[in-house]
Homo-oligomer: A and B are copies of this chain.
Amino acid sequence: MTHLVAIDWGTSSLRGALIDAKGRVLEEQSHARGILTVEPGGFRDVFDSLFGAWMSEPGTRCLISGMAGSKQGWVEAPYCPCAAGLPEVRAKIREIEPGRIAIVPGLSDEHAGVPDVMRGEEVQIFGAVALTGLKSGLFVLPGTHNKWARVKDGRVTGFRTFMTGEFYALLSQHSILARTLDASAAFDEAAFLSGVAQADNGEGLLHNAFGARTLSLFERMSAGELASYLSGLLIGEELRTQSVRANGEVVLIGSPALTQRYALALKSLGTATRTLGSEATWAGLHALASS
């Protein structure tokens, strides 16, 4: 292999990187061409128009992770069940153009008869393992549907999804709370941490969320503070169930705006964090392509 074209093709966006044989990122590009914007049968054309130049050099390999491997994507790559490390995922890579363009499968897990899934996050976890040298630990990927993954000896042994980001959007935009909450306000650390602490009161999210209504009704919090308070309630609820206190360092992977909030919440519980961004995706796809 000379160059790797690494692509994270998600639901609403698409990012790509041109990577050399040593794993160095030479160029990056991103587009609002998530799989929802692509007509059935139209993936090849979109791919060629965006990555044709990078693919023109003979011997270039392309690996695509994310929702492009789902039923609604380019080609379905069935989930790889946990526990899964690089060899297990590599064995289930689905070739589109053999040896040249391929799709990375997501992972599945199951708890008491209920399945769980991820697509794309497994690549970021493998990349974080490669970049940090941490082969075991708790890896957290905040987003619309957050993932909490346990890693042992470089393999994802199990994980859970939390709809934290989507709940925040629903409650702050569509619920009764939307009337008295300003989601566009600057982040308020004190209000956020107050929400994180409140989430641990044993009353549950269905009750605590109503507090974001009454705190406004009694003029105890401003509309801007309430947005951060609600965010703290939700992230705190997520931490509550994951007994993070029992762990050492947690590895956070994602955008700075989100990982900063998790780092703050975890710090308030006495848990240290280490944070990675989009570089984890490129390192993960490079690790998968190397054999």
Interface residues of A, Cβ cutoff 8 Å to B: 111-117, 145, 160-164, 166-167, 170-171, 174-176, 198, 201-211, 214-215, 217-218, 220, 234, 237-238, 240-241
Q: Tell me if B209 and A163 are in contact (CB < 8 A).
A: yes
Closest to A70 in B: B217
Task: Kindly report how many copies of this chain are found in the complex they form together.
Answer: 2
Q: Tell me if A175 and B170 are in contact (CB < 8 A).
A: yes
Q: Tell me if A214 and B175 are in contact (CB < 8 A).
A: no
Classify the interface of chain A: helix, strand, loop or mixed.
helix
Which residues of chain B are near A201, meaning CB under 8 Å? 111-112
Which residues of chain B are near A174, meaning CB under 8 Å? 170, 174
Nearest CB in chain B: distance from A238 CB, A: 6
Q: Tell me if A210 and B145 are in contact (CB < 8 A).
A: yes
A114 to B112, CA, bound (A): 36
Q: Tell me if B241 and A117 are in contact (CB < 8 A).
A: no
Nearest CB in chain B: distance from A256 CB, A: 22
Take A114-B211, A198-B114, A215-B115 as given contacts and tell me if A167 and B206 are in contact as well, using a CB distance cutoff of 8 Å: yes
Q: Tell me if B166 and A207 are in contact (CB < 8 A).
A: no
Closest to A164 in B: B206
